[in-house]
Chains A and B, each alone.
Chain A
Amino acid sequence: GAVVSQHPSRVICKSGTSVKIECRSLDFQATTMFWYRQFPKQSLMLMATSNEGSKATYEQGVEKDKFLINHASLTLSTLTVTSAHPEDSSFYICSARLLGASYGYTFGSGTRLTVV
């Protein structure tokens, strides 16, 4: 149980275009989703926290106008990288918080974004 499906797994886009990454909770309702960015051989850096039906909370230094997060339903959260540049190339991972007896965090499989 508690599976988060993340798509696409890989995407290549041209500089200046926008890319949308989707995360869906398949068998539970995710009231809170987290978005992380991971550079090669580095740890996960939290970008933002999104709660269903409200605006995302961004970590310091993360451009909210570049990384648009939408969490319009309890099963879907999206991250849109707008006007992408090569420096936005990275591995993006979403995570949903689980409550109750199963308290914890379940992760999507990640999206490798390459901007050319």
Chain B
Amino acid sequence: AQSVTQLGSHVSVSEGALVLLRCNYSSSVPPYLFWYVQYPNQGLQLLLKYTTGATLVKGINGFEAEFKKSETSFHLTKPSAHMSDAAEYFCAVSESGATNKLIFGTGTLLAVQP
């Protein structure tokens, strides 16, 4: 069965500092991996996704993530945090093929300090 682990339910960084949000997954087949951002009382916005091809994926708002199969990881990074990045971030995995359910990690709340 698929699962997603996000290490660190709360991460706090200073404005301008590196953002690193960790995600590890387990899947019996090649996974599709996603990062979403959620602002309070809103739906989810896709930041980036990995399906096939290049393992370093660039997304919106300066975020990127690297799929590392050997480490079963898909960590999200941003070189310089902005105040507007403060939000909840979810890593998610779906299996390729017919199943296609999207399974979420527990989320990481990112705080950005001035």
List residues of A whose CB falls within 8 A of some B CB: 6, 32, 34, 41-44, 46, 49, 91, 93, 95, 97, 103-110, 112
Contacts and interface: CB of A to CB of B under 8 A. Distances in A.
B100 A97 contact: yes
Given A43-B90, A44-B90, A109 B105 contact: no
Contacts of B28: none
A25 to B, nearest CB: 14
Contacts of A104: 34, 46, 49
Interface of B: 32, 34, 36, 41-46, 49, 51, 90, 94, 100-107, 109
B43 A49 contact: no
A103 B90 contact: no
A104 B88 CA distance: 19
Nearest to A97: B100
Given A103-B51, A104-B46, A43 B41 contact: no
Contacts of A34: 101-102
A111 to B, nearest CB: 10
B34 A105 contact: yes
A96 to B, nearest CB: 11
